[in-house]
Structure formats: structure tokens, C-alpha cells
């Protein structure tokens, strides 16, 4: 009797000892499942973040290209605007020069008349009238930035003078290449020579 009771008690004890082990395995499996799910979610988030970063970089590159295109177009427009302004200025300047050139012969005739009549006392009143007209004409030329090239005794300058004749100067102290006489006045507008002065130059 005692032997059977011992066997039963040991069997019961064995069952009791085995039960907690099974429960522990169930707990370990249940703990692993949430960890696996959480890891997968993290991976998905990482992939999503990486895709978003790539997309952000693409958008930034597109924006940079758009800005560059806009800047180039703005620069082209500004260059076109400046070119058109230069062309307008050139056309205006050429028109002014042509208008002045048309009037220069009138000035020449007035000056020749004054020179021819300067010793004619009978035409003094007429001469005064011509002198007034010539002065007004000079004032108009000056208003448009036109200056007369009519100075003798200066070195010959190909930018200002056109030599009609070369001769020996009466005054030996005059150096060679000096303007002895201005036959026809020249004119300048600003830095541009509209018409070269026709001169006689010393040898």
C-alpha cells in the first residue's frame, strides 16, 4: 500500500511540475509575435521615409532647374531690352547727325558771305543781319553738341583734318605737319567727327 501511494504522489508531483513548463512556452511565443510585427512596421516606415527623401530630392532638383530657367530667361529679356535701347539710341543719334549734316552747307554759305562782305561798308546793315542768322545757327549747333573744327596752327590730325594741299610755310619756325589754313570748316558731334576740316598743311 505504501508503495502505490508513493507512486501516485510522485506522478501527481510530476504533472504539477510539467504544467508550468507548457505555460512558459506559450508565453515566449506570444512575446515573439509582437516583436516580429513591430520590426516589420519599422522596416516599412524606413522604406517609406527613404522613398519620401528620394522624392524630396527630385523635387528640389526640379525646383533648382526651374529657378535656373527663369534666371536665364530674365537675363535674356534684360539683354534684349538693352540691345533694343542701344539700337534706338543709335537710330536717334544717326538721325541727329544726318539732320546736322544737311544744315552744314547753310552754315558754310553764311560764313563765306560774312567773310566776303566784311570790308563792304555799303552793306553794313545787311551784313549785321547775316551775322545774326549765323550766330543763331551756331547756337543751334552748339545745343546739339556740335563744335566747329576751324583752328589753324595746330598739328594735323587725321581724325579731324583732310589735307588738300601741302606747302612750305613762310614762317620757318612752324614745324612740318602743322595746319596752315582751314579751307572748309569741319564739325564734330560729341566725340564723333561729322565732317573733316579741309586744310592746307606745312611741309
Give residue-wise pLDDT tens across range 35-83: 678 888 888 888 888 889 999 999 999 999 999 999 999 999 999 889 9
Whether the Cβ atoms of residue 182 and residue 146 lie closer than 8 Å to each other: no
Give the whole-angstrom CA distance, residue 101 versus residue 105: 8
Q: What is the mean pLDDT of residues 161-190?
A: 92
Domain ranges of the chain: 147-203
Q: What is the pTM of this model?
A: 0.54
C-alpha cell at 12: 501527481
CATH of domain 147-203: 2.30.22.10
The pLDDT score that the predictor gives to residue 22 is 47
E strands, the chain, in order: 146-149, 161-167, 179-184, 186-189, 192-195, 197-202
Whether the Cβ atoms of residue 159 and residue 143 lie closer than 8 Å to each other: no
Give the whole-angstrom CA distance, residue 180 versus residue 155: 9
13, pLDDT greater than 70: no
Amino acid at each position: 500500500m505504501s508503495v502505490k501511494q508513493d507512486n501516485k504522489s510522485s506522478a501527481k508531483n510530476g504533472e504539477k511540475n510539467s504544467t508550468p513548463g507548457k505555460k512558459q512556452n506559450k508565453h515566449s511565443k506570444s512575446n515573439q509575435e509582437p516583436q516580429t510585427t513591430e520590426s516589420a512596421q519599422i522596416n516599412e516606415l524606413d522604406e517609406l521615409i527613404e522613398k519620401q527623401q528620394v522624392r524630396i530630392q527630385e523635387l528640389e532638383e526640379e525646383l533648382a532647374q526651374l529657378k535656373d530657367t527663369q534666371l536665364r530667361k530674365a537675363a535674356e529679356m534684360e539683354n534684349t531690352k538693352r540691345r533694343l535701347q542701344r539700337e534706338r539710341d543709335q537710330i536717334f543719334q544717326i538721325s541727329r547727325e544726318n539732320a546736322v549734316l544737311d544744315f552744314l552747307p547753310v552754315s558754310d554759305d553764311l560764313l563765306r558771305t560774312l567773310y566776303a562782305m566784311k570790308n563792304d561798308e555799303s552793306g553794313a546793315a545787311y551784313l549785321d543781319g547775316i551775322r545774326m542768322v549765323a550766330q543763331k545757327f551756331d547756337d543751334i549747333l552748339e545745343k546739339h553738341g556740335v563744335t566747329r573744327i576751324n583752328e589753324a596752327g595746330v598739328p594735323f590730325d587725321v581724325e579731324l583734318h583732310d589735307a588738300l594741299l601741302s606747302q612750305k610755310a613762310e614762317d620757318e619756325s612752324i614745324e612740318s605737319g602743322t595746319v596752315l589754313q582751314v579751307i572748309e570748316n569741319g564739325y564734330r558731334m560729341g566725340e564723333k567727327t561729322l565732317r573733316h576740316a579741309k586744310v592746307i598743311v606745312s611741309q
